[in-house]
């Protein structure tokens, strides 16, 4: 059944041109292809769809996570800061915060941020 197929995260945006500016200009992702629904991006061995919707930014949970090796986490967070990305903090049982980065007792780090429509994205390195 569905366990045999790769899922594709989908992110709703209110303005596709503005979203492209963020995903391509700030996150440095390359579009894989324009599709009737929006834009398909490749990231690692996966892909995700950014598409226009009247419901953009209404999800209050993490919409997409990027899994990073521990050796790349700090430099990727620094690169995001250099692009003007602001990191979120919130009540996080089991985690401690330092400048927008959560640490989990030596078991990994994570940081959350929003795209221009309020979709919550995450970079994390666990283990």
Structural domain contains residue 57: no
Task: Indicate the pLDDT class of residue 2, thresholds 50, 70 and 90.
Answer: low
The 3-state DSSP class for residue 121 equals: strand
Cα of 57 vs its chain's centroid, Å: 13
Structural domain contains residue 41: yes
Rounded CA-CA distance 44/66 in Å is 9
pTM equals 0.88
Q: Tens digits of per-residue pLDDT, 23-32?
A: 999 999 999 9
Q: How does DSSP assign 52-94, residue by residue?
A: E-TTTT---SEEEEEE--HHHHHHHHHHHHHTTPPEE----TT
In the block, tokens 């400048």 appear at: 99
Q: Which CATH number does the domain housing residue 117 bear?
A: 3.10.180.10
Structural domain contains residue 58: no
Q: Which domain holds residue 15?
A: 2-52+63-126
Q: Tens digits of per-residue pLDDT, 61-119?
A: 999 999 999 999 999 999 999 999 999 999 988 889 999 999 998 889 999 999 999 99
Q: Domain count of the chain?
A: 1
Structural domain contains residue 86: yes
In the block, tokens 């030596």 appear at: 106
């Amino acid at each position: 059944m569905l366990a045999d197929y790769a899922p594709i995260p989908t992110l709703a945006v209110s303005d596709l041109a503005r979203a492209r500016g963020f995903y391509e200009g700030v996150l440095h992702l390359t579009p894989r292809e324009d599709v009737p629904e929006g834009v398909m991006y490749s990231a690692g061995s996966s892909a995700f769809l950014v598409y226009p919707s009247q419901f953009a930014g209404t999800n209050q949970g993490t919409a997409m996570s990027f899994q990073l090796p521990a050796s790349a986490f700090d430099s990727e967070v620094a690169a995001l800061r250099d692009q003007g990305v602001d990191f979120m903090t919130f009540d996080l049982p089991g985690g401690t915060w330092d400048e927008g980065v959560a640490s989990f007792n030596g078991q990994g780090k994570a940081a959350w941020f929003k795209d221009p429509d309020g979709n919550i994205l995450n970079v994390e390195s666990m283990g």
